[in-house]
Structure 1
Amino acid sequence: MSTGQAGLLYDVPGPRARARIAILTWAAVLALLGAGFWVWRALTANGQFEAGKWTPFLDHRLWTTYLLPGLFGTLLSAAISIVISLVLGTALAVGMISDRRPVRAGSTVVVEAFRSVPVLILMIFAYQLFAKYTVFPSAQVPLAAVVFGLSVYNGALIGEILRAGLAALPKGQSEAALALGLAKGQTVRLVLLPQAVAAMLPALISQMVVVLKDAALGYQIGYIELIRSGQQAASFYRNFFASLVVVGVIMIAINMALTRVATWAERRLRERGGRRP
């Protein structure tokens, strides 16, 4: 970008402003380095980098007893919740653009209600409800409560995302479909929804990552997931810092893999759409 083009967007800093920016940048870098060194010294003084704190992760029993069951619980609840929230969000988005006022009003109320309540509150409510009335077997109540909270909350958000995508489409799409003799339901299902999903795919991908991360809240109601398993392993081996680091690395790797897969799917979808006549 040339200097003239940059000046159209913001004021080009002069020599004094550039010097001030450089000084502040270096001051911030030095402050971060100093804070990092202070944290490193504190952890070293407490023996958090000793080999004995990290060697338990080379023992397969730690993984088979704690981390792998917790990882399976996290992935299971997230996978079920993603599927349910996508179906629920699609139904709510279609309901919010329905020609029938009761359906439109009911869908809007559901979306506004569930996206305003924290996920943890929904999980606790579902846990108490399912346990009191024996809706599910006692061993499955934590999983059901986690899936319920994640599904209704993220389903409401996905419904709003898809509704925004449907509203952003040109009106000519609907008019052309109706002119071809398609009914309103066929128009939404065959013409509008695929385009809305393609347009809002980045937001949908971000929401799936949020589902995976929010599954960790299940430890509050006794659900066996990765964070809870990491805490149990830390209590047994007395290496809380090392366990949290390993759990954090696993979560980062899972989220990065999910983002890569979703980005690949988005690119493939857009390439197919570009080749379509």
Structure 2
Amino acid sequence: MSAPTQVLFDEPGPKARRNNIVFSIVSAIVLLALVAFVIWKFADAGQLEAEKWYPFTFSQIQLVLLEGMVATLKVALVASVLAMIVGVVFALLRLSNKTAISLPGTIVLEFFRGVPVLLLIFAMFLIFGNSIGPFWSVVIGLTLYNGMVLAEIIRAGILAVPTGQREAAMAIGLRPGQVMVQVLMPQALRAMMPTIIAQIVVLLKDSALGFIVTYQDLLYQVNLIGREYRNLLPTFLVGAVLFIIINLIVAGIARWLEKRLQRKTTAPSGAAGLSGTTGAMD
């Protein structure tokens, strides 16, 4: 007899399936009613009138929104690269066997990871704003917080690599630094790539906090347009759609990079298997 299969839940019976269908229908009706109520409130407040949306047909407004999107992507790109570098460095510091190295790294990591990113951005602007400006205030604040989060992600990925990988690398004569760079780190980054992508998307959304320090990103431009034309609600809806588009683009690029990394790692093994088969046939 085969071992019984373990499942997370029992197969629903006829009554449970009927209840699930009824619950789904009721939930859909409630959701549609809520959407209809929100649309009705918008219409009652005059937010759905054509004149509220007409400014978005102006080329000047479109250009301003485009500049805001570029500014958002710019700060997110720079902060993402720097956060990855900081994450790798602090992950290695925490993994050090020497307490004199790992303890200070842990203290710094826990401090910046525990401080809200908004406070970090605001503190950078208050302390160094006159010399570095809003852009670098936002970049440094995002880098410090997200870099520490990425450090924990990368550290967890390195620790998740089977110990046999380290032992085999040491057995063939690799030094500890070579083992980390050539064996453990690449495997950890590939395993943690989905989590890293999710954190980069979070970083992108957190970049909207640059509005607080007058960085002229997408949210800043949206607020400016909404106050000038007195159509804050339609403008913020347009801004929300643009943020969703940016997030989808960033997530798509990250998934493409993940697939590319996977193809690079699977190709050598496939080639090795093919050469082995050819040798056996000979």
TM-score normalised per structure 1: 0.91
Alignment of 1:163-178 (within 5 A): 163-178=155-170
String of CA shifts for 1:67-87, please: whole Å, max 9, x gaps: 223222211211110111000
- Residue 160 of structure 2 aligns with an amino acid whose one-letter code is A
Q: Which runs of 5+ in 1 are unaligned?
A: none
Separation (CA, whole Å) in 1 of partners of 2:113 and 2:50: 45
- Residue 159 of structure 1 aligns with an amino acid whose one-letter code is A
Between the aligned residues of both structures, percent identity stands at: 36
- 1:24, CA displacement in angstroms? 2.2
Structure 2 residue corresponding to 1:87, chosen from 79, 85, 88: 85
1:104 matched to which residue of 2? 102
2:114 counterpart SS class: coil
Separation (CA, whole Å) in 2 of partners of 1:221 and 1:127: 7
Alignment of 1:176-191 (within 5 A): 176-191=168-183
1:47 counterpart SS class: coil
String of CA shifts for 1:217-270, please: whole Å, max 9, x gaps: 111121111111101001111211221111111111111011111111111111
- 1:18, CA displacement in angstroms? 2.9
TM-score normalised per structure 2: 0.89
2:199 matched to which residue of 1? 207
2:27 counterpart SS class: helix
1:276 counterpart SS class: helix
Structure 2 residue corresponding to 1:274, chosen from 259, 266, 275: 266
State which drifts further: 119-128 or 160-169.
119-128
Structure 2 residue corresponding to 1:149, chosen from 141, 153, 156: 141
1:259 matched to which residue of 2? 251
**Aligned residue pairs, count:** 266
Separation (CA, whole Å) in 2 of partners of 1:78 and 1:11: 45
Separation (CA, whole Å) in 1 of partners of 2:192 and 2:32: 39
State which drifts further: 88-97 or 18-27.
18-27
Alignment of 1:115-126 (within 5 A): 115-126=113-124
1:182 counterpart SS class: coil
Matched, 1:234 2:226: yes
RMSD: 1.7
Separation (CA, whole Å) in 2 of partners of 1:250 and 1:209: 14
- 1:107, CA displacement in angstroms? 1.6
1:51 matched to which residue of 2? 50
Separation (CA, whole Å) in 1 of partners of 2:170 and 2:15: 63
Matched, 1:75 2:73: yes
Separation (CA, whole Å) in 2 of partners of 1:208 and 1:160: 14
- Residue 44 of structure 1 aligns with an amino acid whose one-letter code is A
4+ aligned runs moved over 4 Å, structure 1: none
2:128 matched to which residue of 1? 130
- 1:11, CA displacement in angstroms? 2.6
